[in-house]
């Protein structure tokens, strides 16, 4: 993994499991959203940021399920930058069981820089683009 990999930990709650006893597929997208939100905060783009016209919108996301996770497990979610364009960038995520590092899922998301006032995509601000490019992972 890159030294610029962003990590968060998630403890699986009972309400995130289903009748099969494992984490429900929809819960993974909540974990991924939390990982993205915290990643954005490390870049200075959290909720209530000082640039209200600069926002992000999720254009695409997918998740491949590799194994099952269960109630009370601790998961490690990593986020890396995989590509940076003019108005969008791609993040890749790995979800692993924290202690064993066993892969549970892998995911990706395409994020578009978005102006919520005009309701249009916009170029990624140069400062942010430079930061994203400095975090590009070798894929």
Domains and CATH numbers, the chain: 6-134 (3.10.129.10)
45: number of Cβ within 10 Å: 19
pLDDT at 3: 52
pLDDT at 126 over 80: yes
**Can you point out the beta strands (E) in the chain?**
6-11, 55-65, 74-84, 88-97, 103-115, 120-121
pLDDT tens profile 81-104: 999 999 999 999 999 999 999 999
Q: How far is CA 15 from CA 11, 24, 43, 136, in A?
A: 12, 9, 31, 35
- The SS3 assignment for 83 reads strand
Q: How far is CA 57 from CA 17, 42, 61, 95, in A?
A: 27, 17, 11, 22
pLDDT at 107 over 80: yes
Mean pLDDT to the nearest integer, 47-58: 68
């Amino acid at each position: 993994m890159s030294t610029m990999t962003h990590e968060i930990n998630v403890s699986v709650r009972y309400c995130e499991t289903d009748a099969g006893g494992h984490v429900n597929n929809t819960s993974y997208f909540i974990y991924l959203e939390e990982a993205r939100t915290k990643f954005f905060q490390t870049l200075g783009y959290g909720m209530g940021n000082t640039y209200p016209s600069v926002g992000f919108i999720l254009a695409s996301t997918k998740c491949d399920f590799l194994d099952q996770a269960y109630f009370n497990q601790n998961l490690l979610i990593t986020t890396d930058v995989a590509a940076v364009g003019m108005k969008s960038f791609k993040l890749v995520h790995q979800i692993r069981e924290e202690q064993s590092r066993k892969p549970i899922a892998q995911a990706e998301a395409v994020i578009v820089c978005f102006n919520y006032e005009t309701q249009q995509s916009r170029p990624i601000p140069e400062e942010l683009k430079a930061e994203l490019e400095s975090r590009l992972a070798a894929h």
